[in-house]
């Protein structure tokens, strides 16, 4: 089995995918932006071949690279796992006659407005939504739905470029920030009050083989805008309880409606006074190390089962559900350079049996912005057999560790 994998080197966790493909016996040709000589020796050892391109989202460059590989040998699969890569790679895949996620599916999983239109037609409960190219269209939507509303890029990922606006003044500011009026179309959504989480799967030929339910504390927009909180997401090991039946059923309906075949999926949802509502989905793995959280929670290597799904249409591991596991982000008190840590040794010692991974940038490092997400600064992955006990541990970590910058 010969698999072309787009961008094996960046971001850093991308290397896990060629590692897993190599482990199940696949030949891997990488397509990336870095020169081959810049790849580390271990990554090189997993690759059968490599093509450098100026940009992995520049379709003509990727198309030429894939065609060069096809001229040399047969290609069975062309895979990508980063949100921005999914649609251009689907276009190339289709032009080159390689099986995998279709352009239709990739588009519907990328364009927020078209996505919700397709899912509403399939009976999936979604927030009211629309697209806008002019300010008058935005204000018409506000008149129909009322404040607050959400503004976001039609093809964005996570909370990047997303605004919650609750007044005319906030709307005017957000529209200026987004740059509406320059020919850019944006997605508008009704703001849904409630708890936010995500339901992720590894799906093979349209059938869910592995699934995971994960909760945000606090919700993403607050987490990405508020320095004073230490946000975390936590995957539960209680997925088999009846309380998750509705979200699992929704996930399967969404996968069917969008025609997702063999792929990782990442589906965001809200639950509140209006019940369970679909938010958005990507036909790719979640970001910020969530698959490493799942692997730690379940005593298995999800990357390896992804590789088996891609190459052989099967999986062969069973998640243990032995632990709930979380990723907690820790923020410096201000922007600048990190000058000191407090409480780290205490936490690492006290919870040595629970902490499975961590990162504390060395003193003198530049801080990452709050909007940079869960891995922009210090972070820990922490697990415990009991979900509620794990939440208590995370509260202690948040209240104990301090990061000072100047």
Q: Which of 200, 215, 313 is nearest to 265 (CA)?
A: 200
Overall average pLDDT of the 121-141 stretch = 91
Q: Which H, E and C letters describe 27-73, residue by residue?
A: EEEEEECCCHHHCCHHHHHHCCEEEECCCCCCHHHHHHHHHHHHHHC
- Better pLDDT: 66 or 182: 66
40 — alpha (psi -120 to 50), left (phi > 0) or beta?
A: beta
Residues 147 and 172 in one domain: yes
Residues 174 and 295 in one domain: no
Say what the pTM is. Answer: 0.92
Residues 37 and 170 in one domain: no
Residues 67 and 161 in one domain: no
Residues 36 and 17 in one domain: yes
Residues 140 and 263 in one domain: no
Is residue 251 one of the residues assigned to a domain?
yes
Residues 76 and 91 in one domain: yes
CA 129-135-141 angle, 5° bins: 30
Tell which of 62, 85, 100 closes a domain: 100
CA dihedral 40→46→51→52, nearest 10 degrees, is: -20
Residues 152 and 221 in one domain: no
- Interatomic CA distance for residues 267 and 198, integer angstroms: 5
402 — alpha (psi -120 to 50), left (phi > 0) or beta?
A: beta
Is residue 309 one of the residues assigned to a domain?
yes
Q: Which H, E and C letters describe 378-389, residue by residue?
A: EEEEEEECCHHH
> Structural domain of residue 162, as residue ranges?
128-190
Is residue 116 one of the residues assigned to a domain?
no
Residues 235 and 179 in one domain: no
Which CATH number do you get for residue 61? 3.40.50.20
Residues 282 and 247 in one domain: yes
Lowest mean pLDDT among 9-18, 143-152, 159-168: 159-168
- Interatomic CA distance for residues 36 and 52, integer angstroms: 7
Is residue 114 one of the residues assigned to a domain?
no
Tell which of 170, 190, 210 closes a domain: 190
Residue 390, pLDDT above cutoff 70: yes
Contact partners, residue 60, CB within 8 Å, separation at least 6: none
Q: How confident is the model at residue 158 (pLDDT cuts 50, 70, 90)?
A: low
Is residue 7 one of the residues assigned to a domain?
yes
CB-based contact 323:384 (threshold 8 Å): yes
Is residue 55 one of the residues assigned to a domain?
yes
Largest separation between any pair of C-alpha atoms in the chain: 59
CB-based contact 115:132 (threshold 8 Å): no
pLDDT at 181: 65
Residues 204 and 170 in one domain: no
Which CATH number do you get for residue 140? 3.30.1490.20
Chain segment 279-316, per-residue pLDDT in tens: 999 999 999 999 999 999 999 999 999 999 999 999 99
Strand order in the sheet with 49-52: 49-52, 27-32, 2-6, 77-79
Is residue 115 one of the residues assigned to a domain?
no
pLDDT at 177: 82
Residues 31 and 140 in one domain: no
CA distance readout (Å), 184 to 85, 110, 155, 350 = 20, 16, 11, 51
Give me the number of domains the chain comprises: 3
- Better pLDDT: 302 or 179: 302
Is residue 389 one of the residues assigned to a domain?
yes
Overall average pLDDT of the 203-209 stretch = 98
Q: How far apart are the first and last CA of the chain?
A: 52
Which CATH number do you get for residue 303? 3.30.470.20
pLDDT at 184: 73
CB-based contact 245:253 (threshold 8 Å): no
Q: What DSSP string describes 280-336? A: EEESS--STTHHHHHHHHHTS-HHHHHHHHHHHS----------EEEEEEE--SSSS
């Amino acid at each position: 089995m010969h698999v072309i994998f787009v961008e094996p080197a960046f971001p850093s966790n991308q290397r896990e995918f060629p590692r897993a493909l190599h482990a199940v016996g696949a030949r891997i040709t990488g397509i990336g932006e870095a020169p081959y000589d810049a790849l580390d020796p271990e990554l090189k050892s997993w690759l059968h071949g490599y093509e450098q391109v100026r940009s992995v989202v520049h379709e003509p460059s990727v198309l030429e690279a894939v065609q060069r590989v096809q001229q040399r040998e047969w290609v069975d699969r062309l895979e990508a796992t980063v949100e921005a890569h999914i649609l251009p790679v689907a276009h190339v895949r289709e032009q080159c006659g390689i099986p995998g996620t279709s352009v239709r599916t990739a588009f519907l999983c990328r364009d927020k407005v078209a996505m919700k239109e397709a899912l509403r037609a399939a009976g999936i409960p979604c927030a009211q939504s629309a697209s806008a190219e002019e300010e008058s269209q935005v204000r018409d939507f506000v008149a129909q739905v009322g404040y607050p509303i959400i503004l976001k890029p039609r093809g964005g990922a996570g909370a990047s470029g997303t605004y919650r606006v609750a007044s005319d003044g906030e709307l005017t500011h957000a529209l200026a920030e987004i740059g509406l009026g320059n020919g850019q179309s944006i997605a508008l959504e009704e703001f849904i009050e409630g708890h936010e989480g995500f339901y992720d799967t590894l799906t093979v030929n349209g059938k869910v083989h592995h699934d995971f339910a994960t909760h945000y504390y606090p919700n993403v927009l607050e987490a990405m805008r508020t320095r004073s909180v230490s946000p975390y997401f936590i995957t539960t090991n209680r997925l088999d309880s009846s309380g998750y039946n509705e979200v699992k059923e929704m996930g399967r309906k969404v996968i069917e409606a969008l025609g997702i075949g063999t792929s990782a999926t990442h589906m965001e949802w809200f639950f509140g006074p209006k019940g369970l509502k679909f938010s958005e989905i990507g036909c790719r793995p979640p970001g910020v190390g969530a698959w490493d959280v799942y692997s730690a929670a379940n005593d298995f290597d999800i990357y390896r089962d992804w590789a088996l799904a891609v190459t052989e249409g099967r999986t062969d591991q069973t998640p243990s559900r032995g632990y709930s596991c979380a990723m907690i982000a820790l923020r410096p008190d201000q922007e600048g350079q990190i000058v000191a840590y407090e409480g780290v040794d205490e936490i690492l010692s006290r919870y040595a049996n629970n902490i499975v991974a961590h990162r504390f940038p060395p003193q003198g490092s530049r801080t990452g912005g709050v909007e940079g997400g869960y891995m922009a600064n210090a972070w820990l992955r922490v697990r415990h057999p009991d979900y509620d006990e794990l939440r208590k541990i995370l509260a202690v970590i948040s209240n104990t560790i301090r990061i000072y910058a100047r």
